[in-house]
Structure formats: structure tokens, C-alpha cells
Structure 1
């Protein structure tokens, strides 16, 4: 439970506390000890100094008393140290709610409606006797400029904050009083959040949530204060109180055929078993769900923010998962670490918990915010030289401003979509999409056919090419979820938006060597097809017209390589039938199904039916090919669901969909024929992907020989299209592996 908000944190008063933020307090106490005055003045002098060491930072709440009682304020005061390791930002911020009351049948109903959030970026501080006075100009997070100022008067006496705390809102120019609030301090934290934790039976052993002594690992900053850090204390230092129930929910994941978790299985589990989610009610709210699992389908993932929103479902940023069987955590000890390997594993285990929970508060990665060298929980250690030797186990200042004082809708779980509300949109007309200038050691390109049909999901090819005379270790995964590529899109209207993925993955950096320029053809480069069909903002390319795309490759070495601008045109509907289908295809459910490469989750069954219809009606177009491929991927996978909890038993994973290779072959047959007839290099990667999926389905159906035939037919087709020898050799190796 939160600490009594009126009780001072002892660490903020301790003159021997080693934290640098207490230097001023210690010096004041030393100065006080050296003062020599008559005895009748000494007690008064002590009080005048000592009460000023009481921290007034925290959260205050109260209603307006003038001109009427129709507004409520949640005020955050951040002007002195809440604890020994909690930075001071010298800011005020507030959320304003409208109070509504209605009396009926002798009963009065009262409710509030959120109105706006504001911040004071620089606070003027002074003492008037035993009253802490704080003043500053108000800046609204949204809704335009505001010419208002705030004055907060906090009485301090008897070692604690008194009441009422007065908040005056005035016209900044005339000083006319606009509104007065009377508040009390409700918490030393700026936000209070409940974290519900679940754990799978296969990994249900200590530690579920880690406790890490900050001096356990030797590669640490010399100025890092020693303390035992938990996930809760890490967020408390950031200003957020995490209320974590002591007993996690345990799931039975012992189903015979179950080995790894998919994204739609994770979200399905959250919908069913996150009590604050399944219970419904108004969202957003200050609740999170974290699950500790064995392993993800992508074995390289240590953690992921996996949840998204579907129609009639609460919004995203509520759930995340850690994968205990990832090799990062192999050396995590059940008790205190006794080796450096154990200490470092425990530290990265804590880091992963905090990092993934940070995404739920709308934190994007440090490099996505233009701070690639930031020493923050939200950066990747492998991206910063000597990260652990310099990392003080904290969020950076800009992140703290967002977490403590940001717009309520962009911070609260279930509020604004992830990666929005962070000033990532530019409503200008193209000035942000300027081409790179000068000589770069890596060439990063965005490529496509330059044209897509109206209902065709947009896919592009990202290509990295080494233009230097030296080998280059580049990131091996160019998907947006991996975090090494960001994308900006200028729409036909001129608006520039970031195309952000729904998921955010955390894992060790995997690299591949790009040989120097002039090496054997194909060894100096590699390409990856990436879907841009659907993201956090929905369908980015949902309107006909000309789009301009620029991507930036964020190399693990901390260097950014922007691409040249790539133009892509989305065609008009080919006829009335396409126009009619658009309202079904461009829905959020279908977008989610496309993004997930198909889904067997019950919530997306209707979306999969729409894709089946597109695959059938438009089977002679690339829109139909993409739809068929998405359906096939879902049919090729198993899907496990958590059943309802029975009395005395844990919720159990059971198989709800088994792989159906014959259905995969059936739904992709016409698509394979169409791609084989097209003599267009732009479909090479799509053709390659579809044939691989069909070959694996043929193996699963007991027809490995037919699978090898299809793969070698693909090889001959791509050879005629001029594909480089290394790609053809890799296809042959794949054919030989089929048995």
C-alpha cells in the first residue's frame, strides 16, 4: 500500500544519506550547528530551518470552492526529493475533471468527466513563514494556448504537510482570480498503478519478480548508490507507486502439444484472465497485466508488449510478457547471486520487467525519440557502449517528465495508442522528409513496385548495402517490432505520420555480416520484406493517392542511416465490388488479423472470414494473394486457449485449433499459380514466402517430394528474373532440408 502521504520519507531527512540530492540538506544542517545565538532565539531558528526539509512533493486532490464546486483537480507537485533516489524535476502538473451531480428520489449521484491536463515547466519557489508557495505559467498539453498561471500554497507544520492546500488559478496578464481549489495530499507518488501478475506453471519458481542489489554486478557506475531494487522500487523512484498483489495467478501450461506462446494466444489469455480487463467497465484505468511465460514463438524474445485493441475491446497498452526460458535468464539464481554471471542475469531480468512495463506507460525506445545514447531503462544495452558501466538504473529526464507530468490520456494504460501523444506527428507538408546528404558507409533503401491496388496490403522491401571497404555487422532483423527501423509516411493530404508497430519486442541483438563493397554479388547486402499495412494508427495507406515513405535504420552501433524518400501510389477501387469491400477490409479487426499473419483467436474470427472472402473474390489479383497467404499462415499454426478456472483447479491451456496443411495448400493454390505467371521482379519476395509456406505444408501432409519440386520450380523462376546467386543457393539449401 502507498506510504502515508503526510509522513515524511526518512531518507529525505537523514543528514548522513549518501545520495547527492541530499547535499543541500546536509550543508544546511551543518550551517545550523555552527550558528551561535541567544538561547531564546534558538528554538525559533531550528523550526524555521527544520520544517523546510519536509518534502512537499506528491499528489494532491480536491474540489474547486470558487466560483463554484464543479471542478476537481489532481495536482502533482515535483519540487523536492520524495526519497533519496528520486530525482526532482521542478514541475507542477494537473488533471482537471468536471464534477456532475444529479439528485433523484432523495439520492444524489456524483460523477466526474476528464477535461484536460496541464503542466508548469518552471516553478518559482519560496517560503512565506511555514507555507511553501509555488508559482508558474500553465501550458496545456492539448487544446491550444492558455494564458493562465497557478499559485499553490502548501502549509507545513509538525513535521508534515498540512491542510487545506490552496490552489489558485489566475489570468496571467491581469492576475484576475479564475478558480480556487482546496486540496489534501493523497500520495507521495505522482501516479498509483495496480499491476496484476500471472505466471505459467512451467516457470513457477523464484524469483518471479526479482530483487537486485545494485552493487551485485561489478560493471556498474562508481556513483551508483547501493540498495535492493525491485520492480516496485524502480517505479517508485520514478514517481509511480506499483500496487502488486502478493500472490500471482498461476496457469497450467502442461498441454502435451504446447511449446511456445504466440501473440494472439497471449492477448486471448489477457482478455480472459486479466481480472480488470475481463470485468469490463470504463477504460482507461490505472491497471496493468504482466505474465511470466516459458518461451515465445520467436525464441529470440526475452519480453514483449503484446496487447492491442479490437472493436468493442478496451484499448491497448495494458499487457506485457516475459519469457523465463530465454537464455538471458539462464543464470538467474533463486536467492542472492554468488557469481558475477548470476548477478548480471538477475540485473537484466529486472531490466526486462521494468522495460516492458515502461512500454505500457507509452514509452517508446530511446532511439525512436532521438536519444540513441540515453542511459535509460528504455534503451537497449547492446546499443550503447559501456551501457552497464554508466547506467544508474533510472529513466531519463524526458521520460520522467512524461511519466509524472504527461497528458493523462497518453500515460494511463488503455488511453491513447502506444507511441502517440509523444509529439511524433508532423502536420506540415513534407519538410521533414528531406533526403540524406553526404557519404554514408551503409546504404539503406526502401523499395516496392511503386504501385499497389486499392485493397492490396502495402509491403515494402528494406535493403541494407555496405558501401564501405570494411565488413559491417548490421542488425539481422529489419522488422519495425525489433526496433532497428522507424518509418515516416507522408499521406496524399500532406500530413506526415510515424507508422508504428502494434508490438514491441525485447531481445539480444542478432547481427549479420555485410561484406565490403565490391565483394561477391549479394554478400554486401541483404533485404527483408516488411508489411506496412496496419499499425498503431490503423491502416496508414487506406486512401487512393500518392504516398512518400522514408525509413531510418538505427544501427546497433548507435548510428542512424535515413533512406531516400520512396514514392508509392495506391490505386482507386477497380469497381463497385472493391469499393463495397473496403468498409469490411479497412476495419480494425481485419487490420489486426493481417498484422498478426492471421489469427485463430475467437475475437478475430469475423476478420478471418473477411480475408477468406477477399481471397476468393479477388483470386486473380495481388490483394487476393495477400489475403490467401494470411489465411494460410493461420491454418498452419496451432492455437491454445486458457480455459475457464474451475473450482480448486488452475486455468488450463487447451488446444483450440490444430494445424491443417491441406487447407493451407487449398487456399494458396490459385495464388501460387498467379505468382508463377507474373514476370515482375517486385513480387519475388512475396512469391518466395508463399512457396516456402506451401512446401512446409506439403511436408506436414507427408509429401516432402512435392515440396522440393515446388521450391526448385521457384528457384528456376527467380533465376530467370535475375535474382543473385547467394539467394538461389539459399533456396536450394532449403529444398534439401525438406524431408
Structure 2
């Protein structure tokens, strides 16, 4: 029913036929469930990475922590980040690329459901499962491939984004892409699919890194910085430079104007979980690895925003202590961090190095408390901000033990933040009889998140979370009070948040953003009530 580009015969194209033309037979295994009813999930029906992870662990009967030709796909409503994410490869731990999810609410809202756009998203995500990278990242993949026309953005491929397409005669965007796209992979993508080494293609083989960092499989001993661009942007990593034994490592990220221009375009997401930013970590031995998060979104329809005098910078923070490759900082020593961020003009903005020190335990209590935060399950819980998954029960037990046996230790605040965040939201569990929903435990969430805020704001202690995490925690605390039908206390927390950052003397544009966040949250809570 769509207009056909010149050279494409009239035919019905499905996900299976798209891969069949590439030489790959896709088979549907098991029972396909058309619709699962949900009781008690609330109005949002959003899925967090923790819920997606738990659903796959409990329901993918073919899941094994090894390479195999099996992929679990789950059609959900909307991702909890609510950022327009259309698809996600959320299974990146251990043997990765065995789980993917699609989000139909955003497909519907972008008017892509049932169209060639939805088909493109499905084939694109399955392509990632087969270790194909985005068209503009092929030179950073493993094995490396040459970029196509216009640094890859000129590829008429399933692995390009329609809205990022750049044609040979200056034409750009979705209309130009569909006018020339023949619903096929490029020649080098076909070579990878048909003739690539087994572990480079099979699900659960070598990991996939979507984004600036590429798919580096072994540590690098040296890294050549991208050439300086003219994006008008400056990228910085900042924040704490010393972390104790077991302490979750969080770095803060700032993207601002570099002073060469009065305004510049930027992508709004600064998280390594997104598509545009990668953090490189150099360990004490000099080996360089990109930090690979457990889950990374794909297909966001956000274009860009403009930084100017009113909005001179963007800020974010990232927990990088644990990712798809396990512990990022396994031994004490000096580590160097560097961030790379794609700009809308296609250039890469590179930050100066930010050096951090991981200290050994100072005493036996530090060792015991730190050990309770070290482990794959604890790292996963920190990355997901909690989970009800039974596969993570040992990690949750360790966090509970840290709170119970070392309540006054500075590290206890991180266990409280994870447990309090998870308690404050409902948790959807996919089972044989549909989706069961554990309702939010607002009393526990208020107690634990309140302790995080109180500890962080206590002038007599150095314990606590960073400013951006504090902002997020206070808004979660306000939501918990609202769920407990205490709008007055929710408003008080939001007022306290703005006043806290006013007293910290943050720059006026930052304070204005925080005040706007508080008012947006306040309006949402009152409207829901």
C-alpha cells in the first residue's frame, strides 16, 4: 500500500521475507500470545529494563547463557524512560543479544504501527541481534567494515535510520529514504550475515556495542581521538574523583556551548544507555574499554534541541560501576574516563580525561560493607535501580544485609536508594497466566528514599548521592508521598528540592530547569490525584 521506489516489484514484505532475501530462515518457536491482560498496573503500563529482564529470565524457555540461534522478542506498551524508544536490546549481560522488546504505544503515536516504519523497526532490531551495527558505526564494529556514502548516513539499509538518511544530491530525511530504499541490507551487511564467523553472528556470541564506542571485543592499548569538529559543543565528565571499596561509581556529564557560537544543536540524551554517548575507561594497566550498559535503547524519534543563552548546557549522571562486561572497576587503582558524544552534524565531541581513584578498604567494616555491594547481582540491581526478579534474590539479600548490619556506613545509602526506588513502583511479572503486578510499597519507599535524602543533605557527613541523583531521588520521593495520598508532603519535598539547589548556588539556567522539573512533577501528581 506504500509508494514503491523505482526498481522494487509489487509484493508483500514481512520480517521473514526480508531475512529470507538475505539468505536467513526465521522460524517462530513456541506459542505466540496475542494479548496479555494486566490487572493493577496503573494507567502507564510502562516497562522498565528490570521488568523486561525478569520477564525474559522467567519466560524464555530457550534461554541459556551461551551462544545459540534463539531470540526472545516481547511486544510491550511503552518504555519507562518515555523518550520515544521504539525498540531495545535489553539483554546484554553474559551471552548477550538474546532478548529484544518493541514498544507499540510509541509506534502508534508516531503513526508507524502497521506501516513500513514498524516493519523497518522489527528488521532493524533483529539485525542488531545478529550483531549488525548502525550504518554510521560500521568503522567501529568488530569486525570493522568500511562506511558507506556520507559516513554511512547515505546507506539505503535496514540498519540506517530513516530520519538520519543523507542522499547523494543533498536530499535528507524520511521521504528521501523511502523514495530509494529497496527493503534490503547493503552488500557488506549481507557478507556479514552470510559469511561472518559463527560467534560474530550468532545470538549469545560476541557482544554488540551500539553507539560511538563501537563493538570493541578486546582492550585497546591506544585510542586515536576523532578529529575536532565544528559543532560548537564542549563535553565534560566531572564529579567525585575518589571512590571507596565497593562504592558505586557515578560520573556526571555536561554538554555545553564551547564559546565559538551563540547556539548549537545537540541530542537531548547524555546517557550511555542512549545512542549518542559512549564512555571509554582506561584501567590501571593502560587497557581501554568502552563502558557497555546492560540495556541500550534504539530508534528514538527525538531529533535535537538547540543550546543557547537560555539553555546553555545539558546535564546527566551515569552509574558505570557495572555493565554488560561485568564490574568496570574490579581492582583498586587509578582509572581514566573519557566521553565521546555524537553531534547532530555527524561530528564527534570528545571530553578531556577525568581521572578517578578506586581505594582499597580502610578497615574491616569498609571491607565487609563494600563486599556486600560487589557482585554481578548487586551490580545488576544498581544498574536497574532494583528488581523483583527471583534470579536476583541473592543480590537483594546482600543489599538488605548491608542496610541491616551497617546502617550507619556511607555505602548503606546506595542500598537504600535501590531498594526504595524499586519499592516505590509497581513491578510487572510475566507468568504463565498473564501478568501479575506487585503494587508499590509506598511506606517502605518513603522511609528508604527519605533516608537517602536526609543523609545526602546532612552537612555533618560526606555520605550521599550526587546532585543529579539527588534530584531524581527527591522526585521519586514526592511521587511516593502522592501514592500515599499525601499531596501536601509531596509538594513539600518538591519545594525542598528547589530550595536545596538554590542554596547550592547552581547556575541560574540549571536552577530554572530544576524548578521546571518540580512544577511538571507537581502538576502530574495533582492531575493523577
TM category, shorter: 0.7 to 0.9
**Against the structure 1 CA distance between its residues 576 and 414, is the aligned structure 2 distance closer, same or farther, given a 3 Å change threshold?**
same
Provide, for residues 351-380 of structure 1, a one-character-per-residue CA deviation record: whole Å limited to 9, x for no partner. Answer: 111111122222333344444524232233
**Rounded Cα–Cα distance in structure 2 between residues aligned with 1:428 and 1:306:** 25
- Using the alignment, how far apart are the partners of 1:668 and 1:548 within structure 2? 31
Q: Name the SS for the 1:687 alignment partner.
A: helix
What's the offset of the Cα at 1:332? 5.7
Partners of 2:336 and 2:356 within 8 A in 1 = yes
Please list, as runs of the form range in 1=range in 2, the aligned pairs for 1:378-393 lying within 5 A after superposition.
378-385=159-166, 386=172, 387-393=177-183
Q: Which residue of 1 aligns with 2:205?
A: 415
Counterpart in 1 of 2:232?
A: 441
For residues 700-730 of structure 1, what are the alpha-carbon distances to aligned partners after superposition, in whole Å with 9 as ceiling and x for unaligned? 2222222332333333332232202233234
Q: Distance in 2 between matches of 1:564 and 1:436?
A: 14
Shift of the 246–440 alpha-carbon distance from structure 1 to 2, 3 Å rule, reads: closer
Does the 8 Å CA contact 1:306/1:320 hold for their aligned counterparts? yes
1:290 equivalenced with 2:43 (yes/no): no
Matched, 1:377 2:146: no
Which deviations, in whole Å up to 9, do the C-alpha atoms of 1:17-42 show, x marking residues without a partner?
xxxxxxxxxxxxxxxxxxxxxxxxxx
Matched, 1:593 2:385: no
Is the 2:424–2:441 Cα contact (8 Å) retained in structure 1? Answer: yes
1:687 and 2:467 are equivalent in the alignment: no
* 2:193 aligned with 1:403: yes
Tell me how far apart the structure 1 counterparts of residues 455 and 110 of structure 2 sit (CA, whole Å): 47
Partners in 2 of 1:661 and 1:276 — Cα distance? 36
Label 1:499 to 1:224 Cα distance change in 2 as closer, same or farther (>3 A). farther
Q: Retained in 2: the 8 A contact 1:473–1:511?
A: no
* CA pair 367-627 structure 1, distance change in 2 beyond 3 A: farther
* 1:589-668 to 2 correspondences below 5 Å: 589-617=377-405, 619-620=407-408, 623-644=411-432, 651-655=433-437, 657-668=438-449
Select which of 193, 218, 229 maps to 2:13: 229
CA contact (8 A) 2:137 2:152 kept: no
Which residue pairs with 1:16 in the alignment?
none
| CA-CA distance at 1:440 after TM superposition | 4.7
Q: Distance in 2 between matches of 1:361 and 1:435?
A: 27
The two structures have a TM-score, normalised by structure 1, of: 0.61
| Alpha carbons of structure 1 residues 446 and 235: separation in structure 2 relative to 1, 3 Å | same
Residue 102 of structure 2 corresponds to residue 322 of structure 1: yes
Q: Give the superposition deviation at 1:671.
A: 2.4
Q: Judging changes above 3 Å, is the alpha-carbon distance between structure 1 residues 511 and 350 closer, same or farther for their aligned structure 2 residues?
A: closer
Alignment pair present for 1:264 and 2:50: yes
Aligned match for 1:346, one of 91, 108, 115: 115
CA distance in 1, matches of 2:316, 2:424: 22
1:706 maps to 489
Counterparts of 2:59 and 2:307, CA distance in 1: 49
Find the residue that maps to 1:228 and give its secondary structure: coil
Aligned to 2:458: 677
Superposition pairs of residues 471-490 of structure 1, within 5 angstroms: 471-490=263-282
With a CA cutoff of 8 Å and minimum separation of 6, indicate the structure with the bigger relative contact order: 2
Q: Which is further off, 483-492 or 566-575?
A: 566-575
Q: Flag the structure with higher strand content.
A: 1
Shift of 1:223: 4.6
The whole-number CA distance in structure 1 between the counterparts of 2:466 and 2:74 is: 39
Aligned length: 493
What is the TM-score with the length of structure 2 in the denominator?
0.83
CA–CA distance in structure 2, aligned partners of residues 330 and 427 of structure 1: 40
Q: Distance in 1 between matches of 2:250 and 2:52?
A: 26
- Given the alignment, which residue of 60, 70, 87 partners 1:303? 87
Q: Take 1:672 and 1:329, find their aligned partners in 2: how far apart are those partners?
A: 37
Q: Which runs of 5+ in 2 are unaligned?
A: 140-146, 167-171
